[in-house]
Amino acid sequence: MNTPRGTLYLVPNALDFGIEGASAAVTLDDVLPMGVLRIAARLEHWVAENARSTRAFLKRVDSIVPLSRPLQQIVIVELPRPPKGARVAPAQPLAALLAPLHSGLDVGLISEAGLPAIADPGAALVQAAHAESLTVVALPGPSSLLLALAASGLNGQSFAFCGYLPVDASERGVRVRELESLSRRGQQTQLVIETPYRNVALLEALLAHLQPGTRLSVSCGLTAPGAFTRTDSVAAWRAAPSPLPADRPAVFAFLAA
């Protein structure tokens, strides 16, 4: 008799990772459905981007829905890092992470913030799970990209997430102009992100290379205390720039006129 196989749950995390003091001000049931917390509380096997932050997440879950077993007994395995120059992790280690599922055990996949597998290395594990015909269930929760898009007022019918822009100033300028051209031709909103300490540098680059009539939106620290979204023309941003913190994640979106 075949053993029923487990389910790979994509468990969303809060968006306050790395924001000082935010985790004390935001309880998980403010940003995650109770059904998600109940599933997270019963899972005994996890695959994580970072084991330490996952333990912190489970402690927050435990304060609302008691964990099914002590945290010290929960298995948390980190995703393998892709070799230098490679885009994805090797298939063999990923297959090993899915082994509990073949024994009938459910596994949670979690990112440090937001939805796993969205702008996140967990996508490779999800792909491996589908290749093995395993059941994958994405649980509802916050995504900074979609929250920023919704709050921006820009085109939500056609949009693209472009990830990080080049660090080199000249290459970054070329890429900004290229994305603006794509936005203008397709009336498509372009979404980009940056490491928080480079927020100011990215904003300066966008203001330097985008056309005055292009609409630029910046969402910062979403769902955390002090969060804000500002959408304005590039010309208005240049005339009255808004300061950006260097310790809070931000999402930048723009739509060419």
List, for residues 216-243, the tens digit of each pLDDT value: 999 999 999 899 999 999 999 999 999 9
DSSP-assigned states of every residue in 181-197: HHHHHHT-EEEEE--GG
Top CATH class of 7-138 equals alpha beta
C-alpha closest to that of 39 among 115, 172, 128, 140: 140
Tell me what pLDDT residue 81 has.
Answer: 74
Tell me what pLDDT residue 82 has.
Answer: 63
Each residue of 7-39: pLDDT tens digit? Answer: 999 999 999 987 876 666 788 999 999 999 999
Tokens of 149: 């898009």
The DSSP 8-state label assigned to residue 13 in this structure reads B
CATH 3.30.950.10 domain locations along the chain = 144-255
Instruction: Please give the mean pLDDT across all residues of the chain.
Output: 93
C-alpha closest to that of 149 among 207, 218, 244, 226: 218
Neighbours of 107 (CB within 10 A): 24
C-alpha closest to that of 16 among 48, 46, 56, 44: 56
Residue 182, burial from CB neighbour count under 10 angstroms (0-12, 13-18, 19+): middle
CATH 3.40.1010.10 domain locations along the chain = 7-138
Tell me what pLDDT residue 3 has.
Answer: 75
Each residue of 82-116: pLDDT tens digit? Answer: 655 555 555 568 889 999 999 999 999 999 999 99
Residue 161 has pLDDT above 70, yes or no: yes
Query: What CA dihedral angle connects 182, 185, 187 and 192, to 10 degrees?
Result: 10
Q: What is the CA radius of gyration of the chain?
A: 20
Q: What order do you get walking across the sheet with 7-11 strand by strand? A: 75-78, 45-48, 107-110, 7-11, 135-138
**Using CA atoms, how far apart are residues 116 and 126, in angstroms rounded to an integer?**
9
What is residue 7's three-state secondary structure? strand
> Which fold, 144-255?
3.30.950
Total-model pTM: 0.89
Exposure string for 142-173, b = 16+ CB within 10 A, e = fewer: bbbbbbbbebbebbeeebebbeebeeeeeebb
Tokens of 229: 């979204």
Q: Which residue has the higher pLDDT, 1 or 57?
A: 57
Residue 161, CA distances (Å) to 65, 148, 216 in order: 34, 11, 15
Each residue of 63-87: pLDDT tens digit? Answer: 999 999 999 999 999 998 765 555 5
Residue 227, CA distances (Å) to 16, 20, 163, 220 in order: 10, 13, 21, 6
Tell me what pLDDT residue 184 has.
Answer: 97
Q: Which residue has the higher pLDDT, 20 or 155?
A: 155
Contact (Cβ atoms closer than 8 angstroms) between residue 205 and residue 172: yes
